Chain A
Amino acid sequence: MFSLYGYGPSIFEGTILTLQVSIVSLLIAMLLGMLGALAKLSGTRSLALIAQLYTTIIRGIPDLVLMLLIFFGGQVLVNQIGPAFGYDEYIDINPFLAGILTIGFIFGAYMTETFRGAILAVSRGQIEAGTAYGMSSFMAFRRITLPQMVRHALPGFGNNWLVLVKTTALVSIIGLDDMVRKAGLAAGATRKPFTFYLVVAVNYLLITSISVYLLKHIERRYSVGVRET
């Protein structure tokens, strides 16, 4: 059943790569999202402005355009900078790097909004209580805000993750061997495109369904002690 005209293992490798791209991008997105949210709430005008500009621009441009810009543009940039540092050979930009950077960058913007809302949802009194105990603002953030914002961030976070996984299909366009591209190669060789793309579609459904299940589980865990309305 998993042989798929002999291309089963190849599709499986692609699936692993899709998962790798998803997870690494998610980590980048979470980092950027946290920085963005803190910048927006920092009260420093210039920082908030930069974060605002970041989220507005990202939400105005299609992910594919951004990915092509970073992939092709990055290529040119690296090869302009290279010779300046005495490196004369042509440098090929790694599609994996371009992929995770783009996807992480895009979803960092969405995470910014999610995290910002979650931080705001933690009651002000909690942080004041922390300050009253003599905690520094960083410690209050780490010990009080962070654990409590998780519950508020999870629904939005889960949504972003599901969209992110589907967005990773774009990396096949810049030549990364994810499952979509593997399916394309297999389809070309066997003349069975529908079969292979359907397998990939089912794989995506599996990934998203398992994610939804796990997220529900985590959500329940973090809502312990909160009365359901």
Chain B
Amino acid sequence: MDFTLIFENIGIYFTGLQNTVVLVSISLVLGLLLAVPLAVLLNYGNNSIRLPIRAYIYFFRGTPLLVQMFLVYYGFGQFDLIKDSLLWPFFKEAYFCALFAFTLNTGAYTAEILRGAIKATNHGEIEAAMAAGMSKLLMIRRIILPSAFRRALPAYSNEIIFMLHGSALASVITIVDITGAARIINSRYYSPYEAFVTAAVFYMTLTFIIVFLVKKLEVRWFAHLQPQSNNPAIEAPP
């Protein structure tokens, strides 16, 4: 193994790192924005709204991300309606197609996570909110969503990591993310170990950073559930 060629070409990996981070962050934010209203509607909407949302979630959770990406990147060009529309400049771009597919994918998974979290809301909290005279919207905003987010965090952190790993697929449609960088180095120097092991190290570092950040957030959000022993104010009397 000869890692000097990696050091000579480390720049391309950092370009890839930037692309991966930007792609994953934007998809996660947009996916979350999409998922929140869907999850609320799944719990409180009527059947005619719930059915299409269910179908959307079923489709995106039941098919591979790769196929979804191909449907957008290669598939949309099949329709003259899209090709002639103002959207075509966007869907012509691989980057936008990956973003679009990733967002819809993570949106579906996140909606399902949030749906469960909302469903698990304590009845007492809802009754208290109603007794306090809150409207349904106010109750959702102030009572249900904050506690649902908290409950959803462990599952959502898994989803973040899945999205990071799934984003490696972007390299298949010509995007130079971390995997894309590794593929370029591999084809240029025919040195698969160095190229892909470096990519693996990048992904692992990112994964550990995410896990670390989520842990920190968990400590903050679950502060009220921490054992109180380390709080000197409430020590048992002698």
Binding site for B on A (CB under 8 A): 57, 59-66, 68-69, 72-73, 75-76, 166-170, 172-173, 180, 183-184, 187, 191-195, 197-198, 200-201, 204-205, 208-209
- Give CA–CA (A180, B75) in the complex, Å: 13
Q: A residues within 8 A CB of B179?
A: 62, 64-65, 68
Q: Are B70 and A180 in contact (CB under 8 A)?
A: yes
Return the contact of B59 from the options A170, A180, A195, A201 (Cβ within 8 A).
A201
Q: B residues within 8 A CB of A63?
A: 165, 168
Q: Which stretch from B61-69, B123-131, B143-151 is at the chain A interface? A: B61-69
Q: B residues within 8 A CB of A191?
A: 78
Return the contact of B78 from the options A166, A183, A192 (Cβ within 8 A).
A192
Return the contact of B168 from the options A65, A184, A204 (Cβ within 8 A).
A65
Q: A166-B64, A184-B74, A200-B67 are in contact. List 17 more A-B contacts (CB 8 A).
A: A61-B203, A62-B166, A64-B172, A68-B196, A72-B192, A72-B196, A73-B192, A76-B190, A180-B66, A180-B67, A193-B75, A197-B71, A197-B75, A201-B59, A201-B67, A201-B68, A204-B67
- Give CA–CA (A192, B74) in the complex, Å: 9
Q: A residues within 8 A CB of B75?
A: 193-194, 197-198
Q: A residues within 8 A CB of B172?
A: 64, 173
The 3 A-B residue pairs whose C-beta atoms are closest, nearest first, are A194-B75, A72-B192, A169-B64
CB-nearest residue of chain A relative to B79?
A194
- Give CA–CA (A72, B193) in the complex, Å: 8
Q: Are B78 and A201 in contact (CB under 8 A)?
A: no
Q: Are A66 and B207 in contact (CB under 8 A)?
A: no
Q: Is B186 an interface residue (CB 8 A)?
A: yes
Q: Are A69 and B76 in contact (CB under 8 A)?
A: no
CB-nearest residue of chain B relative to A198?
B71
- Give CA–CA (A170, B64) in the complex, Å: 9
Interface string of B73-104 (1 = CB under 8 A from A): 01111110000000000000000000000000
- Decide: A65 near B66, CB < 8 A? Known: A197-B74, A205-B58: no
Q: How far is the CB of A223 from chain B (nearest CB, A)?
A: 22
- Give CA–CA (A201, B70) in the complex, Å: 10
- Give CA–CA (A212, B196) in the complex, Å: 35
Q: Are B64 and A60 in contact (CB under 8 A)?
A: no
Q: Which of B180-202 contact A (CB under 8 A)?
A: 182-183, 186, 190-193, 196-197, 199-200
Q: A residues within 8 A CB of B165?
A: 61-63
- Decide: A64 near B168, CB < 8 A? Known: A180-B70, A201-B67: yes
Q: Are B203 and A60 in contact (CB under 8 A)?
A: yes
CB-nearest residue of chain B relative to A179?
B67
- Give CA–CA (A187, B71) in the complex, Å: 11
Return the contact of B207 from the options A59, A173, A184, A187 (Cβ within 8 A).
A59
CB-nearest residue of chain B relative to A72?
B192
Q: A residues within 8 A CB of B63?
A: 166, 201, 204-205
CB-nearest residue of chain A relative to B76?
A194
Q: Are B192 and A75 in contact (CB under 8 A)?
A: yes
Q: Are A69 and B192 in contact (CB under 8 A)?
A: yes
Q: How far is the CB of B102 from chain A (nearest CB, A)?
A: 13
Q: Is B164 an interface residue (CB 8 A)?
A: yes
Q: Is B153 an interface residue (CB 8 A)?
A: no
Indicate the member of B67, B172, B186 with the most A CB atoms within 10 Å.
Answer: B67
Q: A residues within 8 A CB of B199?
A: 65
- Decide: A170 near B66, CB < 8 A? Known: A64-B169, A201-B71: yes
- Give CA–CA (A201, B168) in the complex, Å: 20
CB-nearest residue of chain B relative to A64?
B168
- Decide: A194 near B64, CB < 8 A? Known: A66-B200, A73-B193: no
- Give CA–CA (A208, B64) in the complex, Å: 11
Q: B residues within 8 A CB of A62?
A: 164-168, 179, 203
Q: How far is the CB of B40 from chain A (nearest CB, A)?
A: 25
Q: Are B78 and A60 in contact (CB under 8 A)?
A: no
Q: Are B192 and A172 in contact (CB under 8 A)?
A: no
Q: How far is the CB of A62 from chain B (nearest CB, A)?
A: 4
Q: Are B74 and A64 in contact (CB under 8 A)?
A: no
Indicate the member of A62, A64, A76, A187 with the most B CB atoms within 10 Å.
Answer: A62
Indicate the member of A65, A75, A198, A205 with the most B CB atoms within 10 Å.
Answer: A65
Q: How far is the CB of A91 from chain B (nearest CB, A)?
A: 15
